[in-house]
Chains A and B, each alone.
Chain A
Amino acid sequence: MAEKARGKIFPFTFPCTICKDFVDELGGMFLFLLESAMLIFAGWGQFPKIIRQVYFIGVQSVSVIALIGLFSGMVMGMQLYYALATFGADGFLGTGVALSMVRELAPVLTAIMLTGRAGSAMTAEIGVMRISEQIDALTIMDINPMRYLVAPKLAASLICFPILTAFFNLIALWGGWLTGVKLLGANEGVYWSRVTDALEWVDIEGGFIKSIVFGILVCTICTFEGYYTHIRSGHSGPEGVSQSTTNAVVKSCVVILASDYVMTSLLW
């Protein structure tokens, strides 16, 4: 009887369980974010930790961001030049490169690259600390692990994501100039004047808002996944850490693209 009833209920309970788990995790992540955001300001002792994280997340990512920015700008310059030249509108190359980069590609690509470089490292670091009892040791020493480990990473992400996005923009515009103007022969003066004319403050502001939101999302997802590595059912120890790291990167990338769509709809 019970088996029969379970069979009838199962088609409904399964999606309900998934929804419940999703809402549970979302709620957990939100509270995790709130707590770590408040702990950023837990005394001057946080300052050196934040600086260390800025070095790790920001300074050490400069070369990767520069490379990605350069090649994205070069590809964009080349493709747009060919497309626009078909209609004799190659003068609008600067407009196309500037708007696409500043509004969309720079925040998204920067966030995805930082997820791969710094986000995965955050998850792995915190996950290893969890399975090797280092987080328990912090708790026992009455040092809040959220304050010690998570809050400085969140603060550093808030600082680094917009700065690296701005850096990406600069390099990408220069990359567009390199292919569009230097390789394919578009007019240099027209290119730069279109760049400055096309960009308005609202575009730059929108790009920064996106990068800040991406910074919060990536840091929260990656640190959350690492922090709760030990309660991942079916995976414990090093396997749990690798699973958490994979989850963190995949979830971050999906959330970046989904939230990008939502923010683009709302901002422009």
Chain B
Amino acid sequence: MKSSTAPNIRLENLTIGYGGNPVVKDLNIEFPGGKLSMVIGGSGSGKSTLLKHILQLQPPISGEIFIGEHNMGKLSRRERHCIRQRTGVLFQDGAMLGSLKLIDNIALPLREHTKLSEEQIMRIVQDRLAMMGLGHALELYPNELSGGMRKRAGLARALVMDPQVLFCDEPTSGLDPVMSAELDQLLLEMMCHFDMTMVVVTHDLASMRGLADHVVILGESKCLYQGTIEELEKTEDPYLRRFLDRAAEERDAPRLTMAPISQEMMKLNCNSIMGEKDTVRKDPQCSS
């Protein structure tokens, strides 16, 4: 088995938030190099905020972020330039530039940062789009693509510079289960094809079970867990247990059935909607 040269990502005493108000405090996390790490947590737990801070789109309140040996807060202009060119990001909705065709969107980083000829650029772009199954959509604009296609196009753009680190922000959100599974499969294939460290922010627990080498769980303004999925399965922590049981329930969930609403419940609902003092509703169900 070949050893990975992809850098690890280390967060040291990191407190992140907006305008001085912390969202997550004192994070000490290491995302191992060459592995697929997943950051999981409920809505508002700070997953996307963490991603923005690692990507230096927001300054942290305190603490440090290292990618490999580079302290992201103390980079020179040239170092930042190098690291950004070796970093790919798949945004939640692809974030493709609306004014450019798909082919130009994917070619943009190559045109801006390399001295490759237009012919070479086109060859790389077509190769990446073919990998994503978008070889037929070169001339389309982003608004002509479906949600799943936009995400795959975003992935193609993220991979066009052969990154060593790939960040994905909720890659399966808004996709149907079939499409989600396809995208997960695609991410795995890309992991095998490119030697890179991948950090995926998601709340899709099925993806976590299927993909993650390393899991980080955020909640209650802190890191609740970091480690392998196998260790997580054995945990006795009540919060994490509930979290995992919920994941299992989601997987084996029975079909919900419609039960008739009782008269009592109907009355209660009407009162809570209209307020207790408002009893002059014409609906006989409510006034009875």
Which residues of A come within 8 Å of B, CB atoms? 45, 128-129, 132-134, 136-143
Distance to closest chain B CB from A47 (angstroms): 14
A134, A136, A141 — most chain B CB neighbours (10 Å):
A141
A128, A129, A132, A142 — most chain B CB neighbours (10 Å):
A142
Complexed CA–CA distance, A80 and B123 (Å):
66
Q: Which partner residue on chain A sits nearest B99 by CB separation?
A: A125
Among B87, B95, B111, B112, contact of A136 (Cβ-Cβ < 8 Å): B95
Complexed CA–CA distance, A133 and B85 (Å):
18
Distance to closest chain A CB from B13 (angstroms): 25
Q: Does residue B55 face the partner (Cβ distance < 8 Å to A)?
A: yes
A134 touching B97, Cβ below 8 Å: yes
Complexed CA–CA distance, A137 and B91 (Å):
8
Q: Contacts of A134 on B, CB cut-off 8 Å?
A: 95-98
Complexed CA–CA distance, A143 and B109 (Å):
8
B89 touching A137, Cβ below 8 Å: yes
Distance to closest chain A CB from B60 (angstroms): 16
B92 touching A133, Cβ below 8 Å: yes
Distance to closest chain B CB from A213 (angstroms): 29
A141 touching B112, Cβ below 8 Å: yes
A141 touching B95, Cβ below 8 Å: no
Complexed CA–CA distance, A129 and B142 (Å):
13
The list of the 9 closest CB pairs from A to B, nearest first, reads A142-B84, A137-B95, A133-B95, A141-B109, A140-B89, A133-B91, A134-B95, A143-B112, A136-B57
B55, B80, B112, B113 — most chain A CB neighbours (10 Å):
B112
Distance to closest chain A CB from B90 (angstroms): 10
Distance to closest chain B CB from A51 (angstroms): 14
Complexed CA–CA distance, A141 and B97 (Å):
12
Distance to closest chain A CB from B72 (angstroms): 13
From known contacts A136-B57, A136-B91, infer whether A142 and B97 are also in contact, taking CB-CB under 8 Å: no
Among A132, A137, A142, contact of B81 (Cβ-Cβ < 8 Å): A142
Complexed CA–CA distance, A140 and B52 (Å):
10
Among A45, A132, A142, A143, contact of B95 (Cβ-Cβ < 8 Å): A132
B81 touching A141, Cβ below 8 Å: no
Q: Contacts of B111 on A, CB cut-off 8 Å?
A: 45
Q: Which partner residue on chain A sits nearest B161 by CB separation?
A: A141
Q: Contacts of B84 on A, CB cut-off 8 Å?
A: 140-142
Complexed CA–CA distance, A129 and B113 (Å):
21
Complexed CA–CA distance, A138 and B96 (Å):
10
Q: Contacts of A142 on B, CB cut-off 8 Å?
A: 80-81, 84-85, 109, 112-113
Q: Does residue B204 face the partner (Cβ distance < 8 Å to A)?
A: no
What are 27 A-to-B residue pairs whose CB atoms are below 8 Å? A45-B112, A128-B98, A129-B97, A129-B98, A132-B98, A133-B91, A133-B93, A134-B95, A134-B97, A134-B98, A136-B55, A136-B57, A136-B95, A137-B89, A137-B157, A138-B97, A139-B57, A140-B55, A140-B57, A140-B87, A141-B108, A141-B112, A142-B80, A142-B85, A142-B109, A143-B108, A143-B112
Q: Contacts of A139 on B, CB cut-off 8 Å?
A: 57
Q: Contacts of B81 on A, CB cut-off 8 Å?
A: 142
Complexed CA–CA distance, A128 and B143 (Å):
13
Complexed CA–CA distance, A57 and B84 (Å):
33
Complexed CA–CA distance, A198 and B108 (Å):
53
Q: Which partner residue on chain A sits nearest B154 by CB separation?
A: A137
Complexed CA–CA distance, A14 and B96 (Å):
42
Complexed CA–CA distance, A140 and B95 (Å):
11
B95, B98, B113 — most chain A CB neighbours (10 Å):
B95
Distance to closest chain A CB from B49 (angstroms): 13
Complexed CA–CA distance, A129 and B81 (Å):
22
Complexed CA–CA distance, A140 and B86 (Å):
10
Binary interface encoding of chain B residues 136-158 relative to chain A, with 1 for a CB under 8 A from any of its CBs, else 0: 00000000000000000000010
Complexed CA–CA distance, A264 and B108 (Å):
45
Complexed CA–CA distance, A140 and B91 (Å):
11
Q: Contacts of B157 on A, CB cut-off 8 Å?
A: 137, 141
Complexed CA–CA distance, A138 and B57 (Å):
11
Q: Which of B113-168 contact A (CB under 8 A)?
A: 113, 157
Q: Contacts of B95 on A, CB cut-off 8 Å?
A: 132-134, 136-137
From known contacts A142-B84, A143-B108, infer whether A132 and B89 are also in contact, taking CB-CB under 8 Å: no
